[in-house]
Amino acid sequence: MRFLKAIQILTVGLLLVQSAHGESTPPNIVIFLADDMGAGDTSAYQDWAGNSDQQQLHTPAMEELARRGIRFTSAHAPHSRCTTTRYALLTGRYCWRTSLKHWVLFGNHGDPLINRQRITLPEFLQDAGYVTGMVGKWHLGLTYRRADGSLAQGFDDADLRQPLADAPIDHGFDFFYGISRSHGTSGPGGLKRLNTPQQSTGPGWIKGRQVVGATAAGKELVAGSYNYWEVGNVVDREAHAFLRRAVAGDKPFFLYFASPANHGPYTPSKTISGIPVAGASRYKNGTPTESNRQDFVYQNDVHVSRLLHYLKTTSDPRRPKHSLIDNTLFIFTSDNGAEKNNKQFTGPLRSNKGSTYEGGHRIPFIASWPAGGVGDGDAATPGKTQTTLLGLNDLYATLAEIIEKPLPPVTGVGRGAEDSISQLSALKGDATFQRSAALFPNDHQQASKKLSDERAWVAVRSNTTPLAGQWKLFLDHRYAFKQEIHPQELYNLAVDPLEQKNLLQDPQAKPALDYLIAQAIRAAGDDGFTRTVKTD
Ligand SMILES: [Ca+2]
């Protein structure tokens, strides 16, 4: 064992030497974020989910990515819903520290959730010389303008011909082509959402600051400019256009592909760049699924296959003789657990999207970066599986370590990444990596029968308690709102993965309980943070 350890240390040392001698260049980065997709929704996790070939959706591109790289079986969305996870992914900070303690931003306006003074992940990468692009679903709030150019109060008094006053390009993206929130509520044009001068559904496609389909007829968009069944085509087209422009330059690129699929309504495109999608999804045994929903999940696999194909077949202008894929960190993941509460989609977890039980926030997560030692890049051999804890809020610090740039401070103007801990060694396969702070997943549909603030539960999840196990403590909504500790449920996932036996009153579990409470006290508050900060 000691000999193996020595080899590991030597290997890490060699990588650093390579870096110091400039032989490696900052990697390109692709973060592909599926919507509402559980790990059971991809055949890359078939063995983990326990699905038979008759019930497992076949997602060959995701399987290929997993063979090239590494998949995590305990990766977590920081929250169990769309807006909150997207906030935490882009800021490295839990959304329960903001005014939005749970659930999502509603309506076509929604005051922008990301403060302008905050350094987002794409801004951080811009500062490091990256060209940054986003396609797809934003769902973090927009500010429109009225006809006279003044700031609109919301969608009702907005003039869609005026440029947006706050949009993704104000938060670090050089390029944005996407939609305000989920595709079914981002624009009119079908599914009984009529395109009229008074329509209140949404602006449809946004390019930079411009509403693509704006007309002089109030909120009425250009006929046909927004079509639910074409969202896959459009985001795919714009993602590849961004990549082609980026590769023509000399900067590394960061692409955030926030896929509208597979959030309802299920509207698979007929084809994407000639690849059939609608009607084309199959179970692993080859049987057509004949399911609109499965087709829409499969649409994500088609996107991934097209991105992989592009990266494999395009030369890297910064690294002659290599294709782009060698020095691209490609991450596939989802914004929350499976939409449906069904083990076929959630895998062996309790509950689903909208829950602080594992099914709400444990997600598929696959990463590949051959030049950086994240997987071997060989699609012919099995990939690695990693069981350590990871949160999507960790990507910020992980990328900071990769590009060797210090994180922003956790206080003052220009703060950022308060809850982000680098997972680089875990991505490289170190099975002993332990996340130094607990994870704090949030948003619990089981806490109230109706939508109410009582759903803002926060869990404290750690594998590093003084008591062996994988412990998870549930705190009710008063933690997020008032920093008060009111324990509700305690589970040891190592022996109780389905979160069935509440050990809160078990005296033997007290060391774990005390540890998790101490973690929660340290992490509490809107100005709190959980990453390690050097104070000297
Ligand atoms: Ca979602």
Say if 369 falls within a structural domain. Answer: yes
Examine the fold and report which residue of 375, 395, 427 is the final residue of a domain before the chain moves on. Answer: 427
- Report if residue 6 sits inside a domain: no
- CA dist., res. 398 & res. 24, Å (int): 17
Tell me, in angstroms, the distance from the centre of ligand 1 to residue 444's CA. 14
pLDDT tier at 214, thresholds 50, 70, 90: very high
The pLDDT, as a whole number, for residue 344 is 95
Distance of CA 263 from the midpoint of ligand 1 (Å): 6
Question: Residue 111: what pLDDT?
Answer: 87
CA 334 to centroid of ligand 1, rounded, Å: 8
Number of domains observed in the structure of the chain: 2
E strands, 77-231, in order: 131-137, 175-179, 206-207, 210-211
How much of the chain, in percent, has pLDDT values that exceed 70? Answer: 95
pLDDT per residue as tens digits for the range 276-295: 999 999 999 999 999 999 99
What is d(CA 299, CA 26) in angstroms, rounded to the nearest whole number?
30
Q: Are residues 326 and 400 both part of a single domain?
A: yes
Mean pLDDT of 266-271: 98
User: Between β-strands 458-462 and 390-391, what pairing exists: parallel, antiparallel or unpaired?
Assistant: unpaired
Residues 423 and 452 in one domain: no
Q: Is residue 98 part of a domain?
A: yes
| pLDDT at 192 (0 to 100) | 84
Q: Are residues 246 and 393 in the same domain?
A: yes
Note the pLDDT of residue 311.
Answer: 98
Q: Which domain holds residue 409?
A: 28-135+162-172+221-427
pLDDT surpassing 90 at residue 33: yes
Q: Is residue 39 part of a domain?
A: yes
If one compares 106 and 317, the residue with the highest pLDDT of the two is: 317
Q: In terms of domains, do 259 and 125 share one?
A: yes
Decide which of 392, 427, 462 is a domain's last residue.
427
Question: Do 461 and 417 belong to one domain?
Answer: no
Cα–Cα distance measured from residue 175 to residue 179, given in angstroms and rounded to the nearest whole number: 13
Tell me the pLDDT band of 502, cut-offs 50, 70 and 90.
very high
Quick: pLDDT tens for 356-377. Answer: 999 999 999 999 999 999 999 9
Could you tell me the distance, in angstroms and rounded to a whole number, from the CA of residue 91 to the centre of ligand 1? 17
147 is a domain residue: no
pTM of the model: 0.95
For residue 168, pLDDT over 90 is answered with yes
| Residue 321 DSSP code | T
Question: Rounded to the nearest whole angstrom, what is the distance from the C-alpha of residue 510 to the centroid of ligand 1?
Answer: 35
Query: What was the pLDDT predicted at 5?
Result: 39
Report the separation in Å between the CA atom of 460 and the middle of ligand 1, taken as the mean of its atom positions. Answer: 21
State the distance from the centre of ligand 1 to the C-alpha of 248, rounded, in angstroms.
33
Kindly report the CATH number assigned to the domain that includes residue 449.
3.30.1120
Length of the chain counted residue by residue: 536
Q: Is 372 found in the same domain as 227?
A: yes
Question: Considering the domain boundaries, does residue 54 fall inside one?
Answer: yes
Question: Is the peptide bond preceding residue 292 cis, with omega within 30 degrees of 0?
Answer: no
Same domain, 410 and 337: yes
- For 400-425, what is the mean pLDDT? 97
Band of pLDDT at residue 24, cut at 50, 70 and 90:
low
CATH of the domain at 130: 3.40.720.10
**Residue 535: inside a domain:** no
Rg (CA), the chain: 22
- 454 and 494 share one domain: yes
For residue 8, is pLDDT > 80? no
Alpha helical stretches, state H, 69-176: 82-91, 121-127
- The string of pLDDT tens digits covering residues 421-476 is 999 999 999 999 999 999 999 999 999 998 899 999 999 999 999 999 999 999 99
Q: How confident is the model at residue 232 (pLDDT cuts 50, 70, 90)?
A: very high
Cα 321 to middle of ligand 1, angstroms = 39
Q: Which of 427, 457, 483 is the last residue in one of the domains?
A: 427
Paired tokens of 402 = 């990769």
Q: What are the angstrom distances between the C-alpha of 230 and each of 212, 239, 307, 315?
A: 15, 14, 18, 30
Say how far apart CA 36 and CA 91 lie, in whole Å: 20
Does 324 lie in the same domain as 454?
no
Longest dimension (CA), the chain: 73
User: For residue 19, what pLDDT is reported?
Assistant: 41
Q: Which two tokens stand for residue 505?
A: 């009153």
Is a pLDDT exceeding 50 seen at residue 4? no
> How confident is residue 13, by pLDDT bands cut at 50, 70 and 90?
very low
Centroid of ligand 1 to alpha carbon of 332 (angstroms):
14
Please name the residue that has the structure tokens 């559980």.
38
Specify whether 304 is located in the same domain as 336: yes
Task: Please compute the mean of the pLDDT values over residues 494-507 and round it to a whole number.
Answer: 98
Same domain, 504 and 411: no
Q: What is the mean pLDDT of the chain?
A: 94
- Whether 184 is in a domain gets the answer no
Which amino acid is residue 136, in one-letter code?
Answer: G
Q: What is the pLDDT of residues 79-130, one digit of tens each?
A: 999 999 999 999 999 999 999 999 998 877 778 999 999 999 999 999 999 9
**What is the rounded distance in angstroms from the CA atom of residue 338 to the CA atom of residue 283?**
18
308-314: average pLDDT: 98
Query: Of the candidates 493, 486, 469, 470, which has an alpha carbon nearest to the alpha carbon of residue 520?
Result: 486
Residue 255 near residue 133, CB atoms below 8 Å: yes
The alpha carbon of 405 and the centre of ligand 1 are apart by a number of angstroms equal to 31
On whether both 385 and 506 belong to a single domain, the answer is: no
